[in-house]
Structure 1
Amino acid sequence: MGTSVPIDDSLSSQCFTPNSICYTTNNNINADEIPTIDYSVLFSSDPNIQAKALDYLSTACHNYGFFYLVNHGVPEYVFKSVFKAISDYFEPTVVEDRMKYQKKSSTDMIRWELRSSAAENREYLKMVTHPNYHSPSNQTTFSETMEDYYTRMREVVHGLGKAISKTLGMEESFIEKAFKLESGFDVSAMNLYPPNFKSKGSMGVPDHTDPGFFVSLIQDINGGLQILSHQGKWIDVNYMPSNAILINTGDHLEILSNGKYKSHVHRVVVDNNNVKRVSVATLHGPSLDAFVKPAPEFLDDALPPNYDGATYKHYLEANGQHLIDVQSNIQQFRHN
């Protein structure tokens, strides 16, 4: 069973982030605030500082399932290049080029769709980005820009795998091995939310959780995302720290930890905005052949398995869905 690091209340107001973003090391985080995690401090050479940073990460995973990640090593210019590349790709005058990636078969590695309804309002392009990188043809600048971003994000994936493993009281290679992350199946959705002048409160993306290890999100304009708290209250993600990545834990971290860390419900609401918004949400998953089930370390006589095990491929295809859909099926595998 994983153990948590004891908290020293005398350090509860100390700043551990080099860019002066502060967080408390006690567990009394405001329920309407999303924690900020300094990636670099998770690997501090000072064992006391690292232990407290990991304890805070544990609290963020256990109580929220969402956190901002700062000082992660991906430069701001990379984010700006990504947003420009996506905006250029979604130019209305070249929509015919995108239409060839409309849904065709279960083997699609690239998929485009335009949805405009009260239930969902966005244009998006999905691509499988790992273990093999797929990108639209004849889009050299776009392809190279996005591949650079995904390559950098893979370093973050491996780093968070080590850090979150430690928060669970395990060896740092625990998640890497359980999920076979070297061949992890990653799918990225590049979303364009159009200007919206009338339909206040309409859905950009309906309520859902996400499969996989975790989802990373970057966006060019704040607003839209809402997270459902344990108390059943929707929390607005109105502000992201500069150059931050929003992380939300996925279904398979919940399954592996037997519910210690939860995959949280969230949605995108399109309020009255007079500008378009671009976001990149990447689902970082286990290898398709990784069989994920509650680990023995999280089981005992009083706590039996809360989930059935399955390969990641079987999980994604459980209800006749395609791999690139990366839809949550956790209710089907969760014991009542």
Structure 2
Amino acid sequence: MMVTENKKTEALATSLPIIDITGYSTATPELEKELCSKIREACSDKGFFYIVGHGIDQSLISELLAQMQLFFGLPKNQKRAIDKSLSPNDRGYEAIKNQTLEEGTPPDLKEGFYLGAEYADDHPMVQAGRFGYGKNQWPSNSECFQKASNQYINEMTELATSLMSLLALSLNLPKNYFAAFNHEPAVTLRMLHYPPQPENPLPNEKGCGAHTDFGGLTLLLQDHNGGLQVWDRKQEYWIDAKPIKGSFIVNLGDMISRWTNDKYQSTLHRVINKSGKERYSMPFFFTGNPEHIVSCIPTCLDPNESPKYPPISVEQHMRNMYKKPMFDNKY
């Protein structure tokens, strides 16, 4: 859906909440209650918030950012050699202007590299052709890149799993409510490179078109150049989600909106790289177990309210999302 620009002045200051989750893994009931209250408020509003105190070491982040920049600096033919069109599970390189996330606009001004958790060919999920499972493609002589990427994916999976527990508590559910969803989850790490916005862009041309994410949780690492904007549906303007050192931005996907009967929100967002510099970011998509059934959570129904959506498996939900016009060539 194309978003019409509002004539109001766009927000210049960050107005997304910042939640310090230090000690979340061993939190006392009092701390859990405090964290869940903040998460509930954020998820009921825009479904976007920063987290700090997450425990992911900055040295790993710095190493991966450096390796990512080296990758995008490779000659085009080396990147094209591992194009994601060559992968049965959509892993690998995506060239600039190869995706259009906002219907009716020019192609996105970004290039990407898709990775996920490594699953061998004989793994049951791979054998069954499940959505998002399989092997990664790598450039040659990339042992350091592979090591840092795999470690980051493992640690981010653990972090996302913990956030799902806090999400459960925020919905007045048992802490382990999402345990089956979290089991052997499909995850995607998407490394992105945005060149500077052209001085004379095409109408509505931008780094990444306005869209909502499809799955469960997204945990975004930004560099220091900024560019992410989040739509404030109440005030009808774009909020600049400025980089905060040591933070991730967390946002909810459409599946969480569906699961909560729209009590928790997935929200439009986009990227316009106006920094005049190269921009790099890494969204980590936590999609969950493909066989898990997403059915309206009982605590999300008001008295006499009915579910808006029928039950659906995680995999079927994701496949339905990828049937949208801009994703005709996927899956």
Say yes or no: TM over 0.5: yes
Q: What is the identity, as a one-letter code, of the residue corresponding to 2:38?
A: Y
Q: Answer whether contact 2:14 2:241 (CA < 8 A) is retained.
A: no
Moved more, 152-161 or 293-302: 293-302
Q: 1:32: how far off?
A: 5.5
Q: Tell me whether 1:50 sits opposite 2:52 in the alignment.
A: no
Q: 1:132: how far off?
A: 5.4
Query: How many corresponding residue pairs?
Result: 290
Moved more, 42-51 or 79-88: 42-51
User: What does residue range 7-86 of structure 1 map to in structure 2 within 5 Å?
Assistant: 33-42=15-24, 45-86=27-68
Q: Answer whether contact 1:55 1:167 (CA < 8 A) is retained.
A: yes
Note closer, same or farther for the CA distance 1:288–1:47 as it changes in structure 2 (3 Å cut).
Answer: closer
Match of 1:102 among 74, 83, 88: 83
Q: 1:133: how far off?
A: 5.7
Note closer, same or farther for the CA distance 1:326–1:171 as it changes in structure 2 (3 Å cut).
Answer: farther
Q: Aligned partners of 2:34, 2:22: CA distance in 1, in Å?
A: 13
Match of 1:299 among 278, 281, 301: 301
- Residue in 2 that maps onto 1:309: 311
Measured against aligned partners, the alpha-carbon deviations of 1:162-197 in whole angstroms (never above 9, x if no partner) come to: 1111000000011223x2x12111112110011345
Match of 1:115 among 92, 96, 107: 96
TM-score, normalised on structure 1? 0.78
Tell me the SS of whatever aligns to 1:61.
helix
Unaligned 5+ residue runs, structure 1? 1-30, 328-336
TM-score, normalised on structure 2? 0.79
Q: Tell me whether 1:236 sits opposite 2:240 in the alignment.
A: yes
User: What does residue range 1-336 of structure 1 map to in structure 2 within 5 Å?
Assistant: 33-42=15-24, 45-92=27-74, 94-104=75-85, 107-116=88-97, 118-129=106-117, 134-138=136-140, 139-177=142-180, 179=181, 181-196=182-197, 198-199=199-200, 202-231=205-234, 232-238=236-242, 240-271=243-274, 273-299=275-301, 302-318=304-320, 321=323
> Please, what is the CA RMSD of the aligned residues?
2.6
Q: 1:44: how far off?
A: 6.2
Q: What is the identity, as a one-letter code, of the residue corresponding to 1:246?
A: I
Q: Aligned partners of 2:135, 2:20: CA distance in 1, in Å?
A: 28
Q: 1:36: how far off?
A: 0.8
Q: Answer whether contact 1:98 1:112 (CA < 8 A) is retained.
A: yes
Tell me the SS of whatever aligns to 1:112.
strand
